Amino acid sequence: MNVLPLMVALPLGMGFLIPMVSRKNRRTADVLGNLATLSLLIMSLYLFRIGNQIYFMGGWKPPLGINLVLDGLSAFFLLIVNLVAFIVTLYSVDYMEIYTSKLRYYSLFLLMLAGMNGVVLTGDIFNLFVFLEIAVISAYALVGFGTEAEELEASFKYLVLGTVSSVFILLGIGFLYSLTGTLNLADIGSKISGISGGHAFWFVVILFVFGFGLKAALVPFHAWLPDAHPSAPASISAVLSGLLIKALGIYPFLRIFYNIFGFPLLETRFIPQILMFLGGASMLTGALLALVQNDIKRMFAYSSISNIGYIVIAFSLGTPLGIMAALLHTFVHATSKALLFLSAGSLEYRLETRDIKKMGGLMEKMPITGISGDIGFLSLAGIPPLAGFWSKLFIILALLDAGRLGWAIFTILVSVLTLGYYLRMNRYVFFGPLKNNLQRIKESPVFMTASMLILSLITVFLGVILLPHLRSIVLDPAVRTLINGTKYISMVMGG
């Protein structure tokens, strides 16, 4: 059976089904939501076994109809998205009890998931825009889910900036259509090579850098992220920081610049150069601002900006090692940052504050939250046996390999800053003397601790045991897809 359309159809259908069938019993929503994400996770693992595949919607062949394309890169992103989404739904069973409307939460969450899966799978650029809008509109609503004053303010800010960037992406798509007369990504790729020198082509590239750069929160366009990510419920912050900025920001960059525009773009060093500077600015700004934050989730949000910088620097090198490092860091950041946000949510659930100055000594009161928070922080700070160390090492090696010594030293310095702000967080939150008013704090409920434990195990094993296997099964096909560049076109158009 062909499971590709189900990756989009299942969360979309469930998103509307859940609020209809589970009005009487709220447990039905929990069960259905978790079943949906679990089956999506199983399907995304199964997709690794069937290799490259194309699904023609309604049987229309590529230049005419919309098609869903599965290759190494899509399978890689699908695995990350559905893995973190499953753990987050498990976590929400207990966590979302503090909010009033769990049904709508699951509904919006699954719609966002459908949008992300769709963006990653689709082979049509306008379809990509539609799925992107499905994902971000649900994200706007989820950021303001608590409807407190600050949350609404953050959500409105996100909505305004997000809509402006979407408008520019749509303008770019319009230009591409008038240049090539087609909307299919592979078909655009085959027709763009003749006109790729013109002004209109460069205008499209700049529009896409702006549009997708805002979705990925690269530095000059990052203003919405430190407000929006902390304001959402913690489970949603984990998805926004871990997945959304990558599936809607990094993935279109990779797909469009490597597979569709291909060589003309990479041969002129202009766009990679711009992306490297944006990435470097993101790394430094995110790390410096994270150093001074007292709000724990806001600190993690700035750290996300910094980590997006690492990913962008690595993939704009364009070498196989750089792309591998970028994809590995995408995976590591998705799991570790989700873990950090989930433990921050667990702290907020019990303490009802996000100010790290009001916490202290919580390791003995909330051991599982403490350990999983520490594993996430050690991984992202780059402490040896954990996965974050390897991905940062690969990024630095890739920079050295490409002969960019200055950037490599810069990356090492920013890593030291990263370690600095995580140590500061750790000292205030988990260690030090226990405050008197925190004596009666208990560990979080079972579903929250269970999901954090699963995610910490994944983070630990990713670095220690899984890395060689992960590389051969998951990473290499994705790297090969990007290195082969415009082979994507012949795969879609030929099949």
Q: Is 472 in the site for another protein (CB under 8 A)?
A: no
- Of 160 and 405, nearer to another protein (C-beta) is 160
Instruction: Match 């929400």 to its residue by tokens.
Output: 92
Q: Is 397 in the site for another protein (CB under 8 A)?
A: no
- Nearest 5°: CA angle at 259, between 53 and 322? 110
Candidates 156-164, 274-282, 343-351, 443-451; binding stretch for another protein (CB under 8 A)? 156-164
Number of chain residues interacting with another protein (CB under 8 A): 32
Measured from the CB of residue 462, what is the shortest distance to another protein in angstroms?
32
Measured from the CB of residue 188, what is the shortest distance to another protein in angstroms?
14
Measured from the CB of residue 32, what is the shortest distance to another protein in angstroms?
24
- Of 104 and 480, nearer to another protein (C-beta) is 104
Q: Which of residues 161-200 bind another protein (CB under 8 A)?
A: 163-164, 167, 170-171, 174, 177-178, 183
Measured from the CB of residue 340, what is the shortest distance to another protein in angstroms?
19
Choosing from 48, 56, 126, 202, the residue that interacts with another protein (CB under 8 A) is 126
Measured from the CB of residue 338, what is the shortest distance to another protein in angstroms?
23
Instruction: Match 């062949």 to its residue by tokens.
Output: 61
**How many residues in total does the chain contain?**
495
Phi, psi of 222 (to 5 degrees): -95, 0
- Of 140 and 258, nearer to another protein (C-beta) is 140
Measured from the CB of residue 56, what is the shortest distance to another protein in angstroms?
18
- Of 115 and 262, nearer to another protein (C-beta) is 115
Choosing from 148, 267, 355, 364, the residue that interacts with another protein (CB under 8 A) is 148
- Of 231 and 343, nearer to another protein (C-beta) is 231
Binding mask 203-232 for another protein (x = CB under 8 A): -----------------------xx---x-
Q: Which of residues 285-304 bind another protein (CB under 8 A)?
A: 289, 298
Which pair of tokens denotes residue 235? Answer: 């489970």
Q: Is 58 in the site for another protein (CB under 8 A)?
A: no
Candidates 140-148, 388-396, 434-442, 480-488; binding stretch for another protein (CB under 8 A)? 140-148
Candidates 72-80, 137-145, 456-464, 484-492; binding stretch for another protein (CB under 8 A)? 137-145
Candidates 139-147, 316-324, 421-429, 468-476; binding stretch for another protein (CB under 8 A)? 139-147
Measured from the CB of residue 276, what is the shortest distance to another protein in angstroms?
26
String of b and e for 48-87 (b: at least 16 CB within 10 Å)?
beeebbbbeeeeeebbeebbbbbbbbbbbbbbbbbbbbbb
Q: Is 141 in the site for another protein (CB under 8 A)?
A: yes
Choosing from 154, 188, 236, 283, the residue that interacts with another protein (CB under 8 A) is 154
- Of 150 and 364, nearer to another protein (C-beta) is 150
Helix/strand/coil (H, E, C) string of the chain?
Answer: CCCHHHHHHHHHHHHHHHHHHCCCCHHHHHHHHHHHHHHHHHHHHHHHHHCCEEEEHHHCCCCCCCEEEECHHHHHHHHHHHHHHHHHHHHHHHHHHHCCCHHHHHHHHHHHHHHHHHHHHECEHHHHHHHHHHHHHHHHHHHCCCCCHHHHHHHHHHHHHHHHHHHHHHHHHHHHHHHHCCCEHHHHHHHHCCCCCCHHHHHHHHHHHHHHHHHHCCHHHCCCHHHHHHHCCHHHHHHHHHHHHHHHHHHHHHHHHHHHCCHHHHHCCHHHHHHHHHHHHHHHHHHHHHHCCCEHHHHHHHHHHHHHHHHHHHHHCCCHHHHHHHHHHHHHHHHHHHHHHHHHHHHHHHHCCCEHHHCCCHHHHCHHHHHHHHHHHHHHHCCCCCHHHHHHHHHHHHHHHCCCHHHHHHHHHHHHHHHHHHHHHHHHHCCCCCCHHHCCCCCCCHHHHHHHHHHHHHHHHHHHHHHHHHHHHHHHHHHHHHHCCCHHHHHHHHC
Which pair of tokens denotes residue 464? Answer: 């220690």
Q: Is 140 in the site for another protein (CB under 8 A)?
A: yes
Choosing from 78, 135, 137, 275, the residue that interacts with another protein (CB under 8 A) is 137
Choosing from 15, 144, 242, 485, the residue that interacts with another protein (CB under 8 A) is 144
- Of 152 and 368, nearer to another protein (C-beta) is 152
- Of 130 and 466, nearer to another protein (C-beta) is 130
Residues that bind another protein (CB under 8 A): 126, 130, 133, 137, 140-141, 144, 147-150, 152-156, 159-160, 163-164, 167, 170-171, 174, 177-178, 183, 226-227, 231, 289, 298
